[in-house]
């Protein structure tokens, strides 16, 4: 046994005392299960010779503790098998703990794998050393996954299970969109283009505000790519979800107009004291600016941190129903006039 423990210690890079401690604990449990002696069992294993010394500590009538030696000959027949089981369990737990430690450092990273199974709406993914778990709230609505399909996700919180490690993953989060941008757009990955804010209604539409301190770089053009190839790749990974990439601006009016794209905006009047933007569009652009069920205006409001009210040009009383379609999102504290927009953190 001693040579075997030495070999395992060297092979897996585990300190011998740590390995011996695991084996001693397993042997002590096995001994109690087999013989059920009274008192607290203490087992000592010599890692060199493999010899065991087993004793139990009892409370004497005067309250003192008394050590009683226990026989080991009958136990030796099962000790080797128990020791092997203990070593394998220790190695499995060590592998699980190492995987959990690695996952904790990879929080928020992209990872690709294969769908293992789908059970009651939960998607389980083979990510190699660990299993990914994607609950319904982390999925893109409308996506259907089947075993064997390749899938890309962002890693969230790891969790330990009895036999292995598992990690919660997501395709629903804003971080997923950010990591896709970093993977598809070298300028984003290098920091030449900054992603200032992302707002998203997963499965329907996302809006991304980008900027660059280098005036020679077109941040929107970088994300779209030549002939739209990068934008197309992003849409493919998002399952056809609309993705609007807009230029961030410290000018509130320009930022609001860009955020409402693809609609053409005539005028924007911003009142920072009440965090409100009054927007005028041509009548044929009104439905485009508002979007289906108010989605375009709603996301633009979240992107800019302003309530957005949209009116058609030369509005008559019948147009009043179109007023106030923008949301009043959780916004930063009102900024003094001239202060740049402050979208929330991604």
Strand order, beta sheet including 307-312: 265-271, 276-281, 307-312
CATH code for residues 250-346: 3.30.300.20
Given this model, what pLDDT does residue 330 score? 45
pLDDT higher than 90, residue 269: yes
Q: What is the mean pLDDT of residues 173-187?
A: 97
| 110-170: CATH architecture | Beta Barrel (2.40)
Q: Which residues contact 113 (CB under 8 A, 6 or more apart)?
A: 125, 126, 127, 128, 132, 150, 151, 153
Share of the chain above pLDDT 70, in %: 87
The whole-angstrom separation of Cα 239 and Cα 233 is 10
Backbone angles phi, psi at 33, to 5 degrees: -65, -35
Residue 331: per-residue pLDDT = 42
The phi and psi torsions of 106 (rounded to 5 degrees) equal: -100, 15
**Residue intervals in the chain for CATH 3.30.1480.10:** 2-105
Cα–Cα distance, 207 to 296 (Å, whole number): 9
Per-residue confidence band for 2, with pLDDT thresholds at 50, 70 and 90:
low
Give the dihedral sign, CA 167/171/175/177. positive
pTM for the model: 0.71
Confidence of residue 92 (pLDDT cuts 50, 70, 90): confident
Q: Is the pLDDT higher at 321 or at 281?
A: 281
Q: Which residue has the tokens 């990955």?
A: 189
211-267 residue pLDDT tens: 999 999 999 999 999 999 999 999 999 988 999 999 999 999 999 999 999 999 999
Per the model's pLDDT, the better-predicted residue between 137 and 340 turns out to be 137
The CB density around residue 137, as the number of other CB atoms within 10 Å, is 10
Please check whether residue 326 is in contact with residue 298, taking contact to mean a CB–CB distance below 8 angstroms.
yes
How many residues can be counted in the chain? Answer: 346
Per-residue model confidence (pLDDT) at position 16: 84
Q: For residues 179, 183, 188 and 194, what is the CA-based torsion angle, rounded to 10 degrees?
A: -10
Classify the phi-psi angles of 326: left when phi > 0, otherwise alpha if psi is within -120 to 50, otherwise beta: beta
5 vs 169, which has greater pLDDT? 169
pLDDT digit string, tens, across residues 24-47: 888 888 888 888 889 899 999 888
Q: What value does the mean pLDDT take over residues 54-61?
A: 89
Tell me the per-residue pLDDT of 58-91, one tens digit each, with 9 for 90 and over.
988 888 889 999 988 888 878 878 777 777 777 7
Structure tokens at 115: 């769908």
Mean pLDDT of the chain: 86
Q: Cα 95 from chain centroid?
A: 21
Helix or strand holding residue 145 (H, E): none
- Where does the chain hold its CATH 3.30.300.20 domain(s)? 173-248, 250-346
C-alpha neighbours within 13 Å on the C-beta side of residue 134: 30
Lowest mean pLDDT, pick from 78-82, 172-176, 238-242, 281-285: 78-82
Lowest mean pLDDT among 174-188, 206-220, 314-328: 314-328
CATH superfamily of 2-105: NusA, N-terminal domain (3.30.1480.10)
CATH class belonging to 173-248: alpha beta
Could you tell me where in the chain the CATH 2.40.50.140 domains are found? 110-170
pLDDT of residue 140: 95
Query: Among 200-214, 257-271, 327-341, which is the least confidently predicted range?
Result: 327-341
**Strands 122-126 and 110-119: what pairing?**
antiparallel
pLDDT, position 332: 43
Q: Is the model's pLDDT at 15 over the cut of 90? A: no
Residue 223 in tokens: 């994300």
Range 110-127 average pLDDT:
94
């Amino acid at each position: 046994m001693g040579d075997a423990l030495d070999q395992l210690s060297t092979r897996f890079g585990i300190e011998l005392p740590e390995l011996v401690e695991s084996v001693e604990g397993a042997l002590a449990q096995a001994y109690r299960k087999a013989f059920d002696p009274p008192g607290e069992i203490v087992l000592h294993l010599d890692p060199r010779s493999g010899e065991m010394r087993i004793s139990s500590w009892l409370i004497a009538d005067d309250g003192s503790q008394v050590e009683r030696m226990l026989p080991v000959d009958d136990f030796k027949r099962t000790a080797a098998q128990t020791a092997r089981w203990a070593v394998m369990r220790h190695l499995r737990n060590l592998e699980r703990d190492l995987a959990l430690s690695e996952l904790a450092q990879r929080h928020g990273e992209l990872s690709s794998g294969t769908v293992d199974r789908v059970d009651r709406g939960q998607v389980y993914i083979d990510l190699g050393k660990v299993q990914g778990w994607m609950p319904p709230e982390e999925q893109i609505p409308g996506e259907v996954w089947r075993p064997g399909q390749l899938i890309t996700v962002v890693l969230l919180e790891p969790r330990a299970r009895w036999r292995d490690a598992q990690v919660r993953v997501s395709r629903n989060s804003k971080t997923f969109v950010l990591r896709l941008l970093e993977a598809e757009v070298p300028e984003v990955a290098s920091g030449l283009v900054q992603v200032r804010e992302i707002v998203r209604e997963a499965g329907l539409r996302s809006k991304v505000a980008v900027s660059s301190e280098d005036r020679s770089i077109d941040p929107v053009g970088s994300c779209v790519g030549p002939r739209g190839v990068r934008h197309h790749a992003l849409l493919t990974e998002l399952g056809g979800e609309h993705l609007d990439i807009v230029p961030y601006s410290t000018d509130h009016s320009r930022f609001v107009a860009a955020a409402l794209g693809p609609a053409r905006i005539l005028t924007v009047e911003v009142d920072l004291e009440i965090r409100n933007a009054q927007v005028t569009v041509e009548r044929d652009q009104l439905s485009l600016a508002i979007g289906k069920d108010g989605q375009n205006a709603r996301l633009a409001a979240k992107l800019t941190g302003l309530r957005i009210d949209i009116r058609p040009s030369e509005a008559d009383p019948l147009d009043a129903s179109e007023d106030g379609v923008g949301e009043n999102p959780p916004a930063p504290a009102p900024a003094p006039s001239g202060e740049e927009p402050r979208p929330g953190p991604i």
